[in-house]
């Protein structure tokens, strides 16, 4: 049984809500990142040259004040830190939730919650695995399954999505991301205390749909266009 | 008899807190649709008593949906299929031949006492940790000396209707008591009298909530759907907002 | 103030009563007359102020050493626990529920009275006092009632400061309404959940003291015996309902705030666990039980739907403002769909008998007339036993006149509740209502200090008898509970505690051991009778007897018959009870058995009290005492007294002590609603 005594000397920063706030902030950073990333990806439709120069541009932002890839690294470090925070809090809260109900129900019906809200942990884990694969694939190792070029970002991308199972992995991940964002967007607004009325709640939920569709849809356009042969 | 039903009940039986529990199956017949769910259990209990088996223990008192005693997980839903308390659920929500599974609230912070009865004293301790306005008897100023804006007073009232039943915890996949907590924070936080202790209150109450072993909220929303008093999710937003303010204030 | 003049509060306005009838002859023995030993004197408006000053103070340093037990966490108990805790006393608080917040006060709907006169409609402390005494049919003590009216205004202040969300108007100030036929607006409310909000306020104040360490709370504990040592109340024996452990709690004073005993009727609007055990155990230890037969029956409850029924649900009286009450003229029509019964075949009996008040006659009249028409075989709804127990409350005229939206706005939540329980839609089919037991004015006898005749035993809230006489006004019980708890008891108990701390009592003391053993052997006895019937079946049977013979109309032959039946029931109970399970775990049948045993004894005393009081007053209607038109007839010359009953032993007869009621501030009047 839990502690039957009263807590003394409580601190706001040591609460479960603080963990959630950290998740919300890091989650919102991710949202901003994926929006930008998606926008970049859509450069594919402007052709090989435009896309490659965008990739190059990413590495030279801030030059000459920052060395080459300097800003990119700052972003990367920020994202990695956010990821660590986000995942650590997710794991802490998940374990806490597990302990909070040691005996499961024989029958449990969920009646009013979105599927996405109940699958955040699975979705998060899927995204994490995908993320690792994705970084290996495009950033760290640069794997070209057709054995083609790896230093030409455009070719690397088009060759990759020319392989059916690569496309499937990618699309599954986007589905997971869509679900994660559907709940995550509204959830982060609620966690930050911005949904204090039924109307605000409705809007936040709508925002969840919009972000999910835009981000996952936007990302998916690229492999789909490769699949149907628009992008070669 | 017309309109009566025969039902199969699957009920969690557990002799005492430390004992191993399990599901038992019983049959009841001749249940009229005008009966309340608890009256149906009364019939089962009379039947068990006749057979020499100990009646099923369950919490109940007012049977009017206001005291918050009754607390049954009915077919996987806290307080059953309607938005009301277990005691105000009527048998016309079921049909002849149904199988009904009845379990206690499941939460680390609500240990089973016996059968369907759980210990909810964690809620009392959350209130002790700050769910009040400090106003000693006799120290109150004339009631109308502090007007309370009607909108805020209405919101305070709407959420003050929480009956402390714990259905929100029972329904929450995370086992969180955030709806209960948010309801109290919002009730007291919306009133002028609640301002002086507002941020101290939230820090202490959240800490107690966490210490009792309730889970953290991930805004799933099952709590608000199960709540017999329709406490809305925005109290959790209010809770989060007030905590954020408390962090800023360095509490 | 219709026809009444102000009096000086010094000269008696009525002569002491002399009883000439003796209906209960053979059922009781007559004891000494009693007086309230601490009754205040002087101008009525000064009495409480003076008394607060006269009562001695307890040195703050001493308070920590003074232990007070409070049984009950309803308005009366929780408010007292909070206030005494704040004062620095060492308080132990008991309730049988799993949390203090679940006490039955939570269920009160309508509101709470206070003489704030915010509407400037002529209300005042004196008017609230006057209305309460009159409403109680002049069977309450004027000093107590005046004090109640006087502190009523402080209650609202206190509750608002605690964060009770009362209804407010657009300017943010408190709203109030008129309630129960009163002509001034003095009822403060929080939608239909006033009791809940007030109790949560008191509960939170009490929990704050738990955190501060001045109050220790014992939930799921039932008081089963009072410890009386050297004539003083010094503690209780309580059973931990979870472990079954029988615990001894010692103290310098004991406060009973254990609520009302309406459940003696089995079906009532009270919570399932509401009981008389705490009070009855004290009664058996010598505390007088006053006016036990004074019961309030509320006319607008949802009727019984079948034998399985476990409790009755109240619907706000406000429904009578727009609904018309009727039954078919002919018994043959009772089975018909009410919508098919033409106007000329309907009997709007209240409008017919009371043309000027119509459907708004007082609670007791509306209730009694409903029973009469059902007894004539003209009731409606399902057959329960041999009768249909229900009358129509019809909104179709109001809907026609005001439109459905207007009715919806006023009564939506009540209509919903009705529909949830009955499955019928009151917008289409007339509602069915029937009276139900709601409140008891009777209770343990207390003096002006709320102290019983056992020194150190105080009684507050519905558990005492003091303020409502023979009938209680709507919205006054909440007022009394909080008045007692926040403002009265803390100021009177100190006069007693100023002599403490009293010599410590040991757990091995004879009186303590005896009390503990009595509880233990009683529990064992329940478990070992091993008969065939459940506690519930006895309770149901008792309820039938009480309702039939000691309900809305009481007659000499009926009461005599009831007493015989109850005595027989008691014998059967102790021979044929069956309680399964063990004493050392949560055992709801065992709890129930103890409560039913006490209800049976109480039931008998109620009948004896009703038999003795050969007059009709307030909620007590004796068939033998009515006017030619069937109206209640009071006999002030014989019965202007409080009947305080002393326990006469298991084999003996109860002893009647009379406390004369003498008025100095207002004159007695017969009421009339024709
Ligand atoms: C449905 C309903 C509606 C009402 N509406 C109104 C209204 O609108 N306005 C109004 O003024 N009044 C109303 N009343 C009446 C009013 O609610 C009660 O009279 C009042 O609340 C009683 O308060 P109390 O503190 O005396 O007792 P309760 O609130 O009944 O509390 C009794 C306490 O004693 C405890 N207890 C009892 N026996 C034992 C024992 N043996 N051992 C340990 N603990 C024990 C219980 O656990 C509980 O905590 C209503 C009553 C009902 C039933
Ligand atoms: C691009 C990547 C990601 C984005 C955009 C993202 C975004 C978000 C957002 C906005 C939230 C809501 C936070 C809140 O409720 O306040 C959230 C919650 C969550 N995230 Fe992520 N996240 C990402 C990656 C991950 C990863 C890799 C994990 C896994 C391990 C993860 C696990 C979770 C979990 C379990 C929650 C639920 C907590 C909650 O709903 O409050 N997320 N995420
Ligand atoms: S918030 Fe709703 S579900 Fe939770 S305790 Fe309060 S009334 Fe019950
Ligand atoms: S028994 Fe009181 S709310 Fe259900």
B218 and chain C in contact, CB less than 8 A: no
* CA-derived radius of gyration, chain B: 20
Number of domains in chain A: 1
| CA C132 vs CA B22, C367, C537: distances in Å | 55, 20, 38
H-assigned helices in B4-162: 37-51, 121-128, 150-160
B173-192: average pLDDT: 98
Residue A146 has pLDDT above 90, yes or no: no
| Ligand 1 pocket, Cβ-based, cut-off 6 angstroms | C 71-77, 94-97, 103-105, 107-112, 194-195, 222-223, 257-260, 269-270, 274-275, 277-278, 314, 438-439, 461-463, 475-478, 481
- C207–B127 C-beta distance less than 8 A: yes
| Residue A2 counted as domain residue | no
Domain boundaries defined on chain B: 4-114, 120-135+145-248
Run of H or E residues at B52: none
Number of domains in chain C: 2
A96, A106, A190 ranked by CB distance to B103: nearest = A106
DSSP B146-171: S---HHHHHHHHHHHT-----HHHHH
C-alpha of residue A95 to centroid of ligand 2, in Å: 15
If one counts every other C-beta atom within 10 angstroms of the C-beta of residue A95, the result is 11
Confidence of residue A228 (pLDDT cuts 50, 70, 90): confident
C349: domain CATH number is: 3.90.700.10
| Residue C571 counted as domain residue | yes
A119: domain CATH number is: 1.20.1300.10
Pairing type for strands B117-118 and C232-240 reads unpaired
Please state, in angstroms and rounded to a whole number, the distance separating the CA atoms of residues C29 and C24: 9
Whether the CB of A208 sits within 6 Å of ligand 2: no
Please state, in angstroms and rounded to a whole number, the distance separating the CA atoms of residues C320 and C327: 15
Q: Tell me the two tokens of residue B124.
A: 């009392």
Q: pTM score > 0.90 for this model?
A: yes
Which residues, in sequence order, are CB contacts of C479 under 8 Å at separation 6+? C112, C113, C114, C148, C152, C155
Residue C47: active-site member: no
Task: Provide the domain limits for residue C403.
Answer: 298-437
Q: Which residue has the higher pLDDT, B244 or A153?
A: B244
H-assigned helices in C459-580: 477-482, 489-497, 510-529, 535-549, 556-576
DSSP character at residue C192: B
| Residue A154 counted as domain residue | yes
Ligand nearest to the CA of C78: 1
Q: What is the pLDDT of residue C416?
A: 87
Q: Quick check: helix, strand or coil at residue C394?
A: strand
The phi-psi region of residue C182 (left if phi > 0; otherwise alpha if psi is between -120 and 50; otherwise beta) is beta
Residue A1 has pLDDT above 50, yes or no: no
Q: Tell me the two tokens of residue B88.
A: 């105000």
Q: Tell me the two tokens of residue C462.
A: 């519905």
Please state, in angstroms and rounded to a whole number, the distance separating the CA atoms of residues C204 and C290: 32
Decide: C325 and C359 in contact? Cβ < 8 Å: yes
Please state, in angstroms and rounded to a whole number, the distance separating the CA atoms of residues B70 and B140: 35
| Residue A88 counted as domain residue | yes
Quick one: which of C215, C228, C253 has its CA closest to C458? C253
Confidence of residue B1 (pLDDT cuts 50, 70, 90): very low
Q: How far is B191 from chain C (nearest CA, A)?
A: 7
- Enumerate the β-bridge partners of residue C240: C221
The rounded Cα C151 to chain-centroid distance in angstroms is 20
The rounded Cα C10 to chain-centroid distance in angstroms is 31
C433 lies in the same domain as C515: no
If one counts every other C-beta atom within 10 angstroms of the C-beta of residue C20, the result is 9
Please state, in angstroms and rounded to a whole number, the distance separating the CA atoms of residues C449 and C484: 10
Chain A neighbours (≥3 Cβ pairs under 8 A) are B
Give the 3-state secondary structure percentages of chain A, helix then strand then coil, rounded to 5.
75, 0, 25
Confidence of residue A193 (pLDDT cuts 50, 70, 90): very high
The phi-psi region of residue C117 (left if phi > 0; otherwise alpha if psi is between -120 and 50; otherwise beta) is left
The rounded Cα A25 to chain-centroid distance in angstroms is 13
Among C96, C103, C158, C165, the residue to mutate for chain B (most B Cβ within 10 A): C165
Please state, in angstroms and rounded to a whole number, the distance separating the CA atoms of residues B218 and C149: 50
Chain B neighbours (≥3 Cβ pairs under 8 A) are A, C
Q: Tell me the two tokens of residue C69.
A: 């037990």
Partner C, chain B 127-156, Cβ-Cβ below 8 Å: 127-129, 131-144, 146-150, 153, 156
Whether the CB of B165 sits within 6 Å of ligand 3: yes
Whether the CB of B229 sits within 6 Å of ligand 3: yes
Confidence of residue A2 (pLDDT cuts 50, 70, 90): very low
Run of H or E residues at B214: none
Q: How far is A75 from chain B (nearest CA, A)?
A: 26
| Residue C87 counted as domain residue | no
DSSP character at residue C485: I
Predicted confidence (pLDDT) per residue in C254-305, tens digit: 999 999 999 999 999 999 999 999 999 999 999 999 999 999 999 999 998 8
User: What mean pLDDT value characterizes chain C?
Assistant: 94
Task: Provide the domain limits for residue A125.
Answer: 13-105+115-227
Q: How far is B196 from chain A (nearest CA, A)?
A: 17
Class of domain B4-114: alpha beta
Predicted confidence (pLDDT) per residue in A20-52, tens digit: 999 999 999 999 999 999 998 898 888 888 888
Sign of the CA dihedral running C7, C10, C15, C17:
positive
Q: What is the pLDDT of residue C179?
A: 79
Please state, in angstroms and rounded to a whole number, the distance separating the CA atoms of residues C589 and C478: 31
Please state, in angstroms and rounded to a whole number, the distance separating the CA atoms of residues C349 and C525: 51
C644 lies in the same domain as C518: yes
Predicted confidence (pLDDT) per residue in C366-393, tens digit: 999 999 999 999 999 988 878 898 999 9
Predicted confidence (pLDDT) per residue in A111-126, tens digit: 989 999 999 999 999 9
Please state, in angstroms and rounded to a whole number, the distance separating the CA atoms of residues C646 and C34: 12
Please state, in angstroms and rounded to a whole number, the distance separating the CA atoms of residues C66 and C90: 6
Q: Which of A94-98, B10-14, C4-8 has the lowest mean pLDDT?
A: C4-8
Quick one: which of C48, C204, C203, C182 has its CA closest to C111? C182
C568-576: average pLDDT: 98
| Omega cis (within 30) before C501 | yes
**Residue in chain B lying closest to A107 (CA):** B76
Pocket test for ligand 4, best of B64, B79, B166, B229 (most atoms within 8 A of CB): B64
Please state, in angstroms and rounded to a whole number, the distance separating the CA atoms of residues B138 and B142: 11
Please state, in angstroms and rounded to a whole number, the distance separating the CA atoms of residues B85 and A5: 30
Decide: C27 and C561 in contact? Cβ < 8 Å: no
C543 lies in the same domain as C430: no
Quick one: which of B188, B186, B185, B178 has its CA closest to B220? B178
C392 lies in the same domain as C522: no
If one counts every other C-beta atom within 10 angstroms of the C-beta of residue C544, the result is 16
Percent of chain C with pLDDT over 90: 85
Q: What is the pLDDT of residue A158?
A: 87
Please state, in angstroms and rounded to a whole number, the distance separating the CA atoms of residues C418 and C424: 7
Last residue of a domain, one of C437, C457, C478: C437
| Residue A5 counted as domain residue | no
- The end-to-end CA distance of chain C, in Å, is 19
Decide: B179 and B168 in contact? Cβ < 8 Å: yes
Run of H or E residues at B181: helix B178-189
Last residue of a domain, one of C422, C437, C452: C437
If one counts every other C-beta atom within 10 angstroms of the C-beta of residue C323, the result is 23
C446-469: average pLDDT: 97
Q: What is the CATH number of domain B120-135+145-248?
A: 1.10.1060.10
Q: What is the pLDDT of residue A55?
A: 85
Q: Which residue has the higher pLDDT, C9 or B193?
A: B193
Predicted confidence (pLDDT) per residue in B18-58, tens digit: 999 999 999 999 999 999 999 999 999 999 999 999 999 99
Please state, in angstroms and rounded to a whole number, the distance separating the CA atoms of residues B235 and B221: 12
Which residues, in sequence order, are CB contacts of B8 under 8 Å at separation 6+? B25, B26, B27, B98, B99, B100
C592-609: average pLDDT: 98
- Scored b (16 or more CB within 10 A) or e, C195-210 reads bbbbbbbbbbbbbbbb
| Residue C308 counted as domain residue | yes
The phi-psi region of residue C385 (left if phi > 0; otherwise alpha if psi is between -120 and 50; otherwise beta) is left
C553 lies in the same domain as C642: yes
Percent of chain C with pLDDT over 70: 99
Please state, in angstroms and rounded to a whole number, the distance separating the CA atoms of residues C222 and C389: 35
Q: Which burial class, exposed, middle or buried, applies to C173 when counting CB atoms under 10 A from its CB (0-12, 13-18, 19+)?
A: middle
Decide: C27 and C611 in contact? Cβ < 8 Å: yes
The rounded Cα A17 to chain-centroid distance in angstroms is 21
Please state, in angstroms and rounded to a whole number, the distance separating the CA atoms of residues C662 and C380: 45
Please state, in angstroms and rounded to a whole number, the distance separating the CA atoms of residues C76 and C484: 6
Tell me the chain B residues in contact with residue A187 when contact means C-beta distances shorter than 8 Å: 218-219
Decide: C98 and C220 in contact? Cβ < 8 Å: yes
Phi, psi (deg, nearest 5) at residue B234: -65, -15
Q: What is the pLDDT of residue A204?
A: 96
Last residue of a domain, one of C437, C453, C488: C437
Decide: C317 and C301 in contact? Cβ < 8 Å: no
Quick one: which of C119, C293, A191, C117 has its CA closest to B233? A191
Residue C4 has pLDDT above 70, yes or no: no
C-alpha of residue A110 to centroid of ligand 3, in Å: 17
Q: What is the pLDDT of residue C674?
A: 66
Quick one: which of B190, B183, B171 has its CA closest to B237? B183
If one counts every other C-beta atom within 10 angstroms of the C-beta of residue B66, the result is 27
Q: Which of A52-66, A154-168, C36-50, C160-174 has the lowest mean pLDDT?
A: A52-66
Q: What is the pLDDT of residue B224?
A: 97
Please state, in angstroms and rounded to a whole number, the distance separating the CA atoms of residues A41 and A51: 8
Quick one: which of C529, C513, C514 has its CA closest to C596? C529
Please state, in angstroms and rounded to a whole number, the distance separating the CA atoms of residues C97 and C273: 8
């Amino acid at each position: 049984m839990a502690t039957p005594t009263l807590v003394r000397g409580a601190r706001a920063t040591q609460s479960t809500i603080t963990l959630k706030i950290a998740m919300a902030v890091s989650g919102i950073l991710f949202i901003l990142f994926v929006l930008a990333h998606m926008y970049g990806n859509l450069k594919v439709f402007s052709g090989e040259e435009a896309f490659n120069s965008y990739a190059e541009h990413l590495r030279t932002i801030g030059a000459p004040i920052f060395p080459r890839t300097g800003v990119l690294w700052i972003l990367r470090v920020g994202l990695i830190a956010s990821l660590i925070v986000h995942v650590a809090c997710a794991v802490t809260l998940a374990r806490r939730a597990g302990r909070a109900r040691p005996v499961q129900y024989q029958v449990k019906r969920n009646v009013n919650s979105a599927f996405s809200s109940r699958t955040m942990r699975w979705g998060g884990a899927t995204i994490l695995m995908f993320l690792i694969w994705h970084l290996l694939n495009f950033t760290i190792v640069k794997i070209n399954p057709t054995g083609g070029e790896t230093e030409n970002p455009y070719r690397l991308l088009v060759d990759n999505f020319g392989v059916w199972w690569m496309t499937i992995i990618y699309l599954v991940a986007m589905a997971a991301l869509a679900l994660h964002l559907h709940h995550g967007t509204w959830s982060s607004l609620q966690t930050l205390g911005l949904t204090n009325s039924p109307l605000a709640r409705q809007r936040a939920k709508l925002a969840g749909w919009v972000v999910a569709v835009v981000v996952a849809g936007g990302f998916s356009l690229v492999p789909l266009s490769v699949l149907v042969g628009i992008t070669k | 008899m017309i309109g009566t039903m025969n039902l199969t009940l699957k009920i969690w039986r557990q002799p005492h807190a430390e004992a191993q529990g399990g599901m038992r199956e019983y049959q009841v017949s001749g249940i009229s649709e005008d009966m309340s769910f608890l009256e149906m259990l009364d019939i089962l209990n009379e039947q068990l008593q006749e057979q020499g088996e100990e009646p099923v223990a369950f919490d109940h008192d007012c049977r009017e949906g206001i005291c918050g005693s009754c607390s049954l997980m009915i077919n996987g839903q806290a307080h059953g299929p309607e938005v009301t308390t277990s005691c105000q659920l009527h048998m016309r929500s079921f049909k002849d031949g149904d199988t009904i599974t009845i379990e206690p609230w499941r939460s680390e912070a609500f240990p089973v006492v016996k059968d369907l009865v759980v210990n909810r004293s964690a809620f009392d301790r959350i209130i002790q940790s700050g769910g009040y306005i400090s106003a000693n008897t006799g120290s109150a100023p004339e009631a109308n000396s502090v007007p309370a804006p009607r909108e805020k007073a209405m919101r305070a009232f709407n959420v003050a209707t929480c009956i402390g039943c714990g259905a929100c915890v029972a329904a929450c996949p995370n086992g969180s008591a955030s709806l209960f907590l948010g309801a109290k924070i919002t009730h007291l936080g919306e009133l002028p009298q609640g301002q002086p202790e507002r941020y101290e209150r939230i820090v202490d109450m959240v800490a107690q909530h966490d210490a009792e072993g309730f889970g953290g909220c991930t805004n799933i929303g099952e709590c608000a759907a199960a709540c017999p008093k329709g406490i809305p999710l925005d109290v959790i937003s209010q809770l989060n907002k007030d905590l954020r303010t408390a962090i800023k204030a360095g509490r | 103030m219709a026809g009444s003049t102000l009096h000086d509060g010094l000269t008696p306005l009525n002569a002491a009563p002399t009883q000439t009838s003796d209906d209960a002859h053979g059922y009781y023995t007559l004891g000494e007359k009693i007086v309230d030993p601490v009754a205040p004197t002087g101008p009525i408006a000064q009495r409480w102020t003076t008394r607060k000053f006269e009562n001695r103070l307890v040195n703050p340093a001493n308070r920590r050493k003074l232990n007070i037990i409070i049984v009950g966490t309803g308005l009366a108990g929780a408010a007292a626990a909070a206030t005494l805790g704040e004062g620095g006393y060492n308080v132990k608080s008991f309730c049988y529920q799993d949390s203090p917040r679940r006490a039955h006060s939570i269920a009160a709907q309508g509101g709470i009275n206070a003489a704030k006169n915010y509407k400037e409609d002529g209300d005042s402390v004196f008017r609230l006092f006057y209305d309460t005494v009159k409403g109680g049919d002049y069977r309450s003590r004027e000093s107590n009632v005046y004090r109640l009216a006087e502190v009523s205004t402080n209650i609202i202040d206190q509750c608002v400061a605690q964060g009770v969300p009362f209804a407010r108007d657009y300017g943010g100030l408190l709203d109030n309404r008129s309630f129960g036929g009163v002509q001034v607006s003095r009822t403060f409310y929080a939608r239909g959940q006033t009791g809940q909000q007030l109790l949560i306020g008191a509960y939170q104040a009490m929990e704050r003291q738990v955190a501060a360490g001045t109050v220790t709370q014992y939930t799921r504990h039932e008081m089963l015996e009072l410890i009386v040592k050297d004539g003083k109340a010094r503690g209780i024996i309580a059973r931990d309902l979870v472990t079954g452990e029988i615990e001894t709690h010692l103290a310098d004073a004991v406060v009973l705030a254990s609520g009302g005993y309406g459940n003696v009727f089995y079906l009532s609007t009270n919570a399932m666990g509401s009981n008389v055990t705490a009070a009855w155990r004290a009664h058996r230890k010598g505390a007088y039980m006053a006016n036990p037969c004074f019961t309030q029956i509320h006319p607008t409850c949802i009727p019984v739907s079948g034998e399985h029924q476990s409790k009755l649900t109240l619907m706000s009286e406000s429904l009578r403002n727009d609904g018309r009450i009727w039954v078919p003229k002919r018994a043959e029509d009772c089975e018909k769909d009410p919508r098919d019964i033409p106007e000329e075949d309907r009997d709007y009996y209240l409008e017919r008998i009371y043309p000027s008040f119509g459907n708004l006659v007082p609670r007791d009249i509306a209730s009694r007339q409903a029973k009469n028409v059902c007894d004539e075989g003209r009731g409606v709804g399902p057959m329960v036993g041999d009768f249909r127990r229900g009358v129509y409350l019809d909104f179709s005229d109001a809907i026609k006149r005001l439109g459905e939206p207007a009715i919806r706005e006023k009564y939506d939540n009540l209509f919903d509740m009705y529909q949830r329980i009955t499955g019928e839609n009151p917008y289409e089919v007339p509602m069915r209502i029937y009276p139900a037991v709601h409140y008891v004015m009777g209770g343990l006898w207390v003096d002006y200090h709320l102290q019983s005749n056992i020194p150190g035993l105080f009684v507050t809230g519905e558990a005492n008898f003091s303020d409502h006489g023979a009938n209680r006004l709507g919205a006054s019980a909440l007022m009394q509970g909080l008045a007692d708890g926040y403002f009265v008891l803390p100021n009177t108990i100190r006069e007693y505690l100023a002599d403490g701390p009293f010599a410590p009592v040991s757990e091995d003391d004879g009186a303590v051991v005896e009390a503990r053993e009595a509880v233990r052997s009683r529990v064992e006895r329940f478990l070992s009778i091993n008969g065939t019937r459940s506690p519930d079946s006895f309770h149901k049977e008792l309820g039938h007897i009480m309702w039939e013979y000691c309900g809305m109309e009481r007659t000499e032959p009926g009461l005599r018959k009831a007493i015989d039946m109850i005595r027989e029931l008691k014998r059967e109970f102790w021979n044929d009870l069956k309680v399964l399970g063990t004493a050392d775990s949560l055992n709801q049948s065992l709890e129930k058995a103890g409560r039913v045993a006490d209800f049976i004894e109480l039931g008998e005393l109620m009948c004896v009290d009703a038999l003795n009081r050969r007059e009709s007053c307030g909620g007590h209607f004796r068939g033998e005492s009515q006017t030619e038109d069937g109206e209640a007839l009071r006999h002030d010359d014989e019965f202007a007294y409080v009947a305080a009953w002393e326990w006469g032993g298991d084999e003996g007869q109860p002893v009647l002590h009379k406390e004369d009621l003498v008025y100095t501030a207002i004159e007695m009047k017969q009421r009339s609603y024709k």
